[in-house]
Amino acid sequence: MSQIILGVGDYGASNSPGEDVKTFALGSCVSVVLLDPKTRTVGMVHVALPESSINQAKSREKPGYFADTGIPALLAAMVKFGCNPKGKGMVVKLCGGANVMDTNDTFQIGKRNALSIKKILWKYGMGAVSEDLGGNFSRTVTVSVDTGEIILSSPGRPNWKL
Amino acid sequence: MTAKISHEDIQKVIKSVPLLSASANQLLQTSTDPDHDLVHIVNIVKTDATLTARVLKVVNSAAFGLINEITSLDRAISYLGERLIVGIAIGDCAAQLFDKQLKGYEGEHGDLWRHDLRTAIASREVVTQSSSKINPDLAFTAGLLHDIGKALISDFLQGTASEVLDKIENDEISDYLSAEEEMIGFDHPRAGYELALAWKLPGAITEVIRFHHTPSEAKEELQELVYAVHLGDNIAMMGGCGTGADSMHYKLDPNYTKFIELKPDVLANIMLVVNEEFDKLERSFSESGESN
């Protein structure tokens, strides 16, 4: 079974049969999963922060790091697989965005990531059909290219599906 | 039902772990002395052939990308900076603890080292980017050792993670710290504190180990440092780098604002810098055969 492993700020896509797209240890980071039924393509971006304005140089080097540059970069990457450049027809799922306990506003980066991503998706006319966001635990996400099924895992818990 | 452990149980585990080497001890004491210079650090390392070799390996590792090899210890130490020298010494000596797979927390092999390294980097960034007067390298060193107690109690916690997470979910226990106390009668800051006393670590580092989850209980004159590591710990966990099932199941103390000013943009920048610095250091340490 081959896997595409994405790190923080990475994005990637696949339509190869038998392949998985995976990312590890989403704490406050959010994984945006785009499933295109027409081309059977799975795309994912591992977003760490909401806005690229804090570091434009980083957003040029690693656009996936920020929500506002990561989603356009993922959509552009998926065009190579024959997907619609604006994401039309795609199914969106979101995972991650956890926060530590009793957090104040400043430390709610997980929540701000999720909100920022939803705002950007809205501009494309997209919205998540399902999400596993928030909570106080980190998530590892594995998406099957064959079935589009998403399996989540976290230490101390049995795996679950989104 | 998990058995409660006693002070004697912890002391037994501590006795089974090698002490820090003379040079690691001296480096810790020297680096926390406000009047020291880099030359004092160089002189300690020079007396330890193994440590000297490690330092040279780290500085010349691919992760640092130096074009010309550094062969002089003075240059290597000057390039890496004091905190990395202390980090290498601690990582080497405490390898038995840092390498331990934290089965009691359902952690993976190497999780403790990675989390502590990331906390060290984050604690230092909190200090440097918030105009705190704390010595950044002290924050780094304290961050590196803050969770050492987990290696001592992990075995006693085996098999409890699932039950603890259920209880937290059902609001029967408030956080993982309370869970450790409920399960085995001892939490990891207390266990780490016992080790710090046995190793005669500097007072500031001992205080961080003891109170990094409850910084308001630390001695007043050390609270700013303890809060810095408290934030560094939380930042590391938010970056997905914890020690297993307990990750993110700890409370952030919002009273950090009394000592440390952190605007959301600054915090975002800290997270970015921590990510880059961590990637580089983790690679350089594992390339040179350090704890992983």
pLDDT (tens digit per residue) in B162-175: 999 999 999 999 99
Judged by CB atoms closer than 8 Å, whether chains meet at A156 and B107 is answered as: no
Which among A51, A54, A137 has CB closest to B247?
A137
- Cα gap B203→B22, rounded to integer Å: 18
| Angle, vertex CA B229, rays to CA B228 and CA B230, nearest 5 | 90
Backbone angles phi, psi at B192, to 5 degrees: -65, -35
Segment B91-106 mean pLDDT: 91
- Judged by a CB distance cut-off of 8 A, whether residue A138 touches chain B is yes
Does B292 have pLDDT greater than 50? no
Q: What is the pLDDT of residue B62?
A: 83
* Helices marked H in chain A: 56-61, 67-79, 109-123
Tokens standing for B50?
A: 């193994």
Q: What is the pLDDT of residue B254?
A: 95
pLDDT band at A72 (very low <50, low <70, confident <90, very high): very high
Contact B180, B10 (CB under 8 A): no
pLDDT band at B32 (very low <50, low <70, confident <90, very high): confident
Does A9 have pLDDT greater than 90? yes
pLDDT band at B285 (very low <50, low <70, confident <90, very high): confident
Most distant pair of Cα atoms in chain A: their distance = 45
User: Tens of pLDDT along B221-243?
Assistant: 999 999 999 999 999 999 999 99
- Cα gap B88→B91, rounded to integer Å: 5
Taking the CA of residue B273 and the nearest CA in chain A, the distance in Å comes to 10
Interface test with B, best of A10, A24, A100 (most B CBs within 10 A): A100
Mean pLDDT across chain B: 93
- Judged by a CB distance cut-off of 8 A, whether residue A125 touches chain B is no
Does A132 have pLDDT greater than 90? yes
pLDDT band at B1 (very low <50, low <70, confident <90, very high): low
- Judged by a CB distance cut-off of 8 A, whether residue A100 touches chain B is yes
User: Tens of pLDDT along B199-222?
Assistant: 999 999 999 999 999 999 999 999
Judged by CB atoms closer than 8 Å, whether chains meet at B252 and A156 is answered as: no
Q: What percent of chain B lies above the pLDDT cut of 70?
A: 98
| Angle, vertex CA B236, rays to CA B56 and CA A144, nearest 5 | 105
Judged by CB atoms closer than 8 Å, whether chains meet at A27 and B247 is answered as: yes
User: Tens of pLDDT along B142-167?
Assistant: 999 999 999 999 999 999 999 999 99
Q: What is the pLDDT of residue B288?
A: 76
The pTM score is: 0.94
Most distant pair of Cα atoms in chain B: their distance = 59
> In a 10 Å sphere around its CB, with 0-12 CB exposed, 13-18 middle and 19+ buried, how is residue B33 labelled?
exposed
Strands (E), chain A: 3-6, 11-14, 20-26, 30-36, 41-47, 91-96, 128-133, 139-144, 150-153, 160-161
Segment B104-122 mean pLDDT: 95
Judged by CB atoms closer than 8 Å, whether chains meet at A101 and B175 is answered as: yes
Q: What is the pLDDT of residue B290?
A: 54
- Cα gap B248→B227, rounded to integer Å: 17
Q: Which chain B residues are Cβ-neighbours of A28 within 8 angstroms?
A: 238-240
Which among A24, A54, A136 has CB closest to B268?
A54
- Cα gap A124→A71, rounded to integer Å: 10
Strands A91-96 and A30-36, by their bridges, are: antiparallel
pLDDT band at B283 (very low <50, low <70, confident <90, very high): confident
